[in-house]
Amino acid sequence: VSFGYQEVAPDEKTRRVGEVFSNVARRYDIMNDAMSGGMHRLWKDRFVRRVKPRPGEQILDMAGGTGDIAFRLADAGASVTVADINPQMLEVGMGRAQARGFDTLVWTEANAESLTFPDRFFDAYTIAFGIRNVTDIPSALREAHRVLRRGGRFFCLEFSTTLWPGFAEAYDFYSHRIVPKVGKLIAHDEDSYRYLIESIRRFPDMPTFERMIGEAGFVQTKVEPMLGGLVAIHSGWKI
Ligand code: SAM
């Protein structure tokens, strides 16, 4: 499997991704604003509007990190479980939850590839900017399908490839030349941001990823590109 520009063993990738997020955890939120010019907030708002969380619903926010999606879901009254493989990210998230008065969220350490939740437990599963970091994506998608009840919904927010010509080049320049430098300046960590950019470049394109979601058992799969596909919302239903 690939870790940035390198080919590594699956366990090694999982370990290195762990390192990346342990390194950036404390600066993660400020970096998101810096790198996206605040736009990640709008993408996340739109994502949660698509999920349409309802009061009392059980939602699993996988790779939930520092809680950005979970807080939005909980605002709508959903019962949210935040799961992430990285304890440092969860710790930052729990601190933010406390500061904002969210006291009903459940925080749990878990690898998306193998979950301990029972079958058909959740009404919805969300994963935002998480799936491309997962080593074995088909396993994670199968697990998502397993823990959803019938009629449950799957939603994924992820960087993809923009199909707008001029914009694609500008983004390429920005991501390869600017992002690692900003990473160095603010988070003192150029390598982690190089990995994050390279992992975006290597992520399957929109039709391929949509097909993978279908292969995991989801139906009525859909993709909604934003900025020509720079960011995309993929979704599907379990029946
Ligand atoms: N969802 C949050 C957001 O949108 O701000 C956090 C996204 S952050 C870019 C990616 C998260 O994926 C990190 O917190 C990382 O620890 C987590 N992650 C990576 N591999 C994972 C895995 N196999 N299982 C669960 N979480 C994973």
Amino acid at 150: R
> What per-residue confidence (pLDDT) applies to 177?
87
The alpha carbon torsion through 120, 124, 130, 135 (nearest 10 deg) reads 20
DSSP 178-205: IHHHHHHHHHS-HHHHHHHHHHHHHSPP
The order of strands in the sheet holding 79-84 is: 106-109, 79-84, 58-62, 122-128, 148-159, 231-237, 219-226
> What per-residue confidence (pLDDT) applies to 165?
85
How far is it, in rounded angstroms, from Cα 124 to Cα 72? 14
CA 80 from chain centre, in angstroms, equals 15
| Of 89, 50, 37, 64, nearest in space to 232 by CA | 50
pTM of the shown model: 0.96
Enter the tokens of residue 185.
């300046």
Domains identified in the chain and CATH numbers = 2-237 (3.40.50.150)
Atom of ligand 1 at shortest range from CA of 86: 16
Q: Which residue lies with its CA nearest to atom 13 of ligand 1?
A: 65
> pLDDT tens string for the chain (239 positions)?
888 778 899 999 999 999 999 999 999 999 899 889 999 999 999 999 999 999 999 999 999 999 999 999 999 999 999 999 999 999 999 999 999 999 999 999 999 999 999 999 999 999 999 999 999 999 999 999 999 999 999 999 999 999 998 998 998 889 888 888 888 988 888 888 888 888 998 999 999 999 999 999 999 999 999 999 999 999 999 99
What are the tens digits of pLDDT across the range 148-202?
999 999 999 999 999 998 998 998 889 888 888 888 988 888 888 888 888 998 9
Rounded to two decimals, the ipTM of the complex is 0.99
> What per-residue confidence (pLDDT) applies to 83?
98
Atom of ligand 1 at shortest range from CA of 157: 4
Ligand 1 mean position to 129 CA, how many Å? 7
